[in-house]
Amino acid sequence: MTFAEVNFDGLIGPTHNYAGLALGNVASAKNAGAVSNPRAAALQGLAKMRALLRLGCAQGFLPPLQRPDLSVLRALGFAGSDAAVIEAASKTAPDLLANVYSASSMWTANAATVAPSPDTPDGKVHFTPANLASNFHRAIEAEGTARALKRIFRGDRFVHHPPLPGGAHFGDEGAANHGRFAREPGDAGAHLFVYGEDGVRFPARQKRRASEAVARAHGLAPEKTVFVLQAKKALDAGAFHNDVVSVANGSVLFTHEEAFEDREAAHAAIRKAAPFVDIIEAKAAAVSLDDAVSSYLFNSQLVSLPGGEMALVLPKESEENARVKAFIDETLARNNPINRAVFLDVRESMRNGGGPACLRLRVVLSEVERGAIDQNFLVDEAKITALESLVRAHYRDRLALDDLRDPRFKDEAYAALDALTNLLGMGAFYPFQQ
Ligand code: SUG
């Protein structure tokens, strides 16, 4: 049976904005209060999906969540009509209003952790949606994400675990802190879970016991599962997820010298679980942690191409930093599996700390499993064109935080989601449609 990775990108929602909500995320803090361009954001995301298709990769997407989520404000004591709830929140708790408007579900690397069927004892694909407990605007994603995953991956080939309980005690940020190694996608893979401990500047989001719980729920083989502590220095430099300083694919770990607290022990543990792994590392003397965080070099998608090549899909920012560009050129020239680099503009997402790798959830599927999912959520060129037209028709090109106070903007955002479910023939999917 043939297995291949399908990347499920988050379709960027119409409320994409810069509210500065994400603690430890330096780009989000830097751009707090700036005016966003949701239309450009979504078109950049779709252009990335098109680029991956043209590289020969299979591509899918997850729909945006319903935002604003006024049920959250109602649960927090706001009452009355939608307009009354928005008005009251905008006067007395504008920060809460921004939280329920966030389009943060676009970063689907944080949607869930996935174990493909060759790695699980029951031969099924396992999903655990991330509880995203450490930031409020993200913690309110889990329920809707779980529902979307169940809708897309339906039938008895897929197992959906609930998000981990216990809030921040089991803080889980999904696949952004997880990597899988396998010589071929259909081989039994080895799993790398990177957890954090609080730094001096920033708290850690991913707890070790959360990673352990996910590995346990998915039934991963202990000898092929590694738990590694992220370097506190990397966390404090702004690597709020490990995918800001490392990315794994196939037989490769592409990483920064200062990604892990104990580099030698981490590399040894990875090599023990997956002896075939080629560790391609940027030395701190060549690329500093600050360079890595500002360029998002390691937040590239590392993808295997049909002809056997391996490509890095990088944000433009990494082409613009001379030291980072030199390291990419050197990596391509050396004798290792990576032999292509593609630079893409995802600046609207980058300004919130989300690069190419943040925007996608990787799901390794057999041909039969791929055939079993809801085909609406796989894209070809024509579907991308249709989604682009929808975005052009329904998304604003300018959104300031003050605009969130206007109840008519809520109607506009819901109208865009209505158009999406109509386009896909999904029926009533969002709570406001039921
Ligand atoms: O959780 N930014 C996201 C970015 C997530 C990136 N994902 C990965 N590294 N996989 C976060 O920090 C910013 C929202 C705002 O400030 O409005 C935000 O949530």
Mean per-residue pLDDT, 53-72: 98
Question: How many angstroms is it from 194 CA to the middle of ligand 1?
Answer: 18
- Per the structure block, which two tokens stand in for 103? 């389009």
Query: Which residue's CA is minimally distant from atom 12 of ligand 1?
Result: 22
Atom number of ligand 1 nearest to Cα 20: 16
Q: Say if ligand 1 is within 6 A of residue 141 CB.
A: no
- Closest by alpha carbon to 316, among 297, 340, 298, 329? 297
pLDDT in tens, 165-223: 999 999 999 999 999 999 999 999 999 999 999 999 999 999 999 999 999 999 999 99
- Closest by alpha carbon to 234, among 208, 211, 206? 206
Residues of the chain with pLDDT > 70, as a percent, come to: 100
Q: What angle do CA 173, 106, 413 make, to 5 degrees?
A: 135
Q: Say if ligand 1 is within 6 A of residue 177 CB.
A: no
Amino acid 174: pLDDT: 98
Our answer to whether residue 137 is catalytic in this structure is no
Question: How many angstroms is it from 124 CA to the middle of ligand 1?
Answer: 30
Amino acid 1: pLDDT: 79
pLDDT in tens, 290-312: 999 999 999 999 999 998 999 99
Torsion of CA 17, 18, 19, 20, to 10 degrees: 150
Atom number of ligand 1 nearest to Cα 19: 17
pLDDT in tens, 368-377: 999 999 999 9
At residue 332, what is the residue type?
A: L
Question: How many angstroms is it from 400 CA to the middle of ligand 1?
Answer: 18
DSSP run (H or E) holding 127: strand 125-129
Mean per-residue pLDDT, 47-57: 98
pTM as predicted: 0.98
Give the separation between CA 232 and CA 242, rounded to whole angstroms.
11
Q: Say if ligand 1 is within 6 A of residue 107 CB.
A: yes
Contacts 24+ apart (CB under 8 A), 304-307: 304/5, 304/185, 304/249, 304/250, 305/55, 305/56, 305/57, 305/340, 306/56, 307/56
Helix (H, G, I), strand (E, B), or coil: what is residue 5? strand
Pure H helices in 344-429: 347-350, 367-372, 381-394, 407-424
Ligand 1 site-directed mutation target among 136, 206, 346, 352, most atoms within 8 Å of CB: 352
Domains of the chain (ranges, CATH numbers):
4-67+102-433 (3.75.10.20)
DSSP string, 168-179: GGG---GGGGEE
Amino acid 333: pLDDT: 97
Amino acid 129: pLDDT: 99
pLDDT in tens, 328-361: 999 999 999 999 999 999 999 999 999 999 999 9
Ligand 1 site-directed mutation target among 17, 295, 358, 404, most atoms within 8 Å of CB: 358
Q: Say if ligand 1 is within 6 A of residue 356 CB.
A: no
Q: Say if ligand 1 is within 6 A of residue 18 CB.
A: yes
Give the separation between CA 149 and CA 39, rounded to whole angstroms.
25
Our answer to whether residue 160 is catalytic in this structure is no
Choice among 241, 257, 348, 394 that is catalytic? 241
Q: Say if ligand 1 is within 6 A of residue 354 CB.
A: yes
pLDDT in tens, 240-279: 999 999 999 999 999 999 999 999 999 999 999 999 999 9
Phi, psi of 416 (to 5 degrees): -65, -40
CB neighbours of residue 77 within 10 Å: 9
Torsion of CA 63, 66, 68, 72, to 10 degrees: -130
Contacts 24+ apart (CB under 8 A), 382-389: 384/46, 384/49, 384/50, 384/53, 386/423, 387/11, 387/46, 387/61, 387/420, 387/423, 388/43, 388/46
Question: How many angstroms is it from 26 CA to the middle of ligand 1?
Answer: 10
Q: Which residue's structure tokens are 């007395």? A: 92
Question: How many angstroms is it from 28 CA to the middle of ligand 1?
Answer: 7
Q: Say if ligand 1 is within 6 A of residue 133 CB.
A: no
Whether omega before 68 lies within 30 degrees of 0, making that bond cis, reads yes
Mean per-residue pLDDT, 75-84: 98
At residue 133, what is the residue type?
A: A
Our answer to whether residue 126 is catalytic in this structure is no
CB neighbours of residue 222 within 10 Å: 9
Q: Say if ligand 1 is within 6 A of residue 244 CB.
A: yes
Choice among 5, 173, 257, 369 that is catalytic? 173
Q: What angle do CA 44, 5, 110 make, to 5 degrees?
A: 60
Evaluate whether 37 touches 390 at the Cβ level (below 8 Å).
Answer: no
DSSP state at residue 130 = -
Question: How many angstroms is it from 138 CA to the middle of ligand 1?
Answer: 8
Question: How many angstroms is it from 352 CA to the middle of ligand 1?
Answer: 6
Q: Which residue's structure tokens are 């579900």? A: 105
